[in-house]
Structure 1
Amino acid sequence: MIELTPLGLFAVAGPVGKAVLVLLALVSAYAWVLIAEGVFVTRRLARAVEQAEQGAEPALLASMTKAGGGEASSHLAGETTGEVRLRIEDAMLRAARRIVEEAESGLTGLAITASAAPFVGLFGTVWGIIGSFAGIAHAGDTSLATVAPGIAEALAATAFGLAAAIPAMVGYNRLGRH
């Protein structure tokens, strides 16, 4: 009898099915790490912006302050005050972009996971159904006992694919919104 747990479904899967399930479990774990990291970085960045708005100088934004200060301290001959301001603003914006790019670095991994995991799961589903048909051909029998292992493998692959894709998509959308 097939045990309807992730480990039970893994146990009845063939080698290809097991490889698909392991890959999807690893990808799901990777997505959860990226989500946790994204939440941490987003909160940290929000706190730093809040502190800056209150007049403090948070360490996270120090590269912006340093970039602006560096531009403010350099003087170019014949440069107007407006040009100095633009140069300072440009330097600070470049530093801010680097901070935001670093904060958003996990979004690509979440997007890839959200888009690819269902297809990997679908591959496992198709492979499990092929296994069921092969079982029917080998046994010459269409009983449930003949097709159940392949169908269980197929459904497990589908479930694992969705278990990886859904949190990754939700995480991507929630973190990308900030």
Structure 2
Amino acid sequence: MDFMSYWQYSDMVTKALFFILLALSILSWVTGIIRIIQSRNLASTVADDLSAQIQAKQTDLSTGDVATRRLVIEQALLKHIGRYRFASERGLPILGTTAAIAPFIGLFGTVWGIFHALSNIGSTGQAGLAQVAGPVGEALIMTGLGIAVAIPAVVFYNLAIRINRRVMYHANDRAHELLAQSMTSSTATDIAKNI
């Protein structure tokens, strides 16, 4: 059985579900590839970017006590880490939703196709294996399409989550180093002023 005979046999509901699955597939592939590329770029630049942001803050905080400097630096680090987290999670809801709903859309298409096939069999009065196997087999194609759409979305989602964890690890690790360095240099500066 080829695709054209299946397409001619299907009704508007099945065709609409096919186009929904096709759109979800394209959307998840594009989103997944973009998300992986952007997350990898973010992972490679997050530590240097945090360092540059804190260096810019250090010059503004040369006058002030240690507690104030520490508070301002901590808040700046938390703000930038929150921005990195937000940037790294863009597109993940699309991938997660596609992975969750695509099999059910395919299953609905299968149920609809089987109902449609059984309705046709009931109207013709012929219920032999040849009359049942073809339409039911065609209906099962929708389940396969739903799974074929969901699997890449799950893979992209898991890859992006893994890379994003690495981004947050690098960001938090660098933030702790920067905070310790700024407090060490602030303490040394305060001791030098008091001498």
Query: Structure 2-normalised TM-score?
Result: 0.72
After superposition, residues 82-161 of structure 1 pair within 5 angstroms as: 82-148=67-133, 150-161=135-146
Separation in 2, partners of 1:140, 1:117: 34
Segment drifting more, 164-173 vs 89-98: 89-98
Separation in 2, partners of 1:8, 1:84: 72
Is residue 172 of structure 1 aligned with residue 157 of structure 2? yes
Alpha carbons 1:17, 1:153 under 8 Å: kept? no
Alpha carbons 1:13, 1:150 under 8 Å: kept? no
**Quick one: structure 1 residues 72 and 163, their matched pair in 2 at CA, closer, same or farther if it must change by over 3 Å?**
same
Q: Displacement, 1:152?
A: 3.5
Separation in 2, partners of 1:110, 1:17: 23
Corresponding residue number in structure 2 for 1:35: 32
Mark the structure with the bigger radius of gyration. 2
Partner SS for 2:69: helix
Separation in 2, partners of 1:12, 1:83: 73
Which letter does structure 2 place at the counterpart of 1:136? Answer: I
Corresponding residue number in structure 2 for 1:45: 42
Which letter does structure 1 place at the counterpart of 2:136? Answer: I
Gaps of at least 5 residues in structure 2 are: 164-195
Separation in 2, partners of 1:9, 1:102: 43
Separation in 1, partners of 2:96, 2:7: 26
**Quick one: structure 1 residues 9 and 90, their matched pair in 2 at CA, closer, same or farther if it must change by over 3 Å?**
farther
Select 1:26's aligned residue among 23, 26, 30: 23
Give the number of equivalent residue pairs.
163
The alignment yields a C-alpha RMSD, in angstroms, of 2.5
The 4+ residue runs of structure 1 with deviation greater than 4 A are 64-67, 73-77
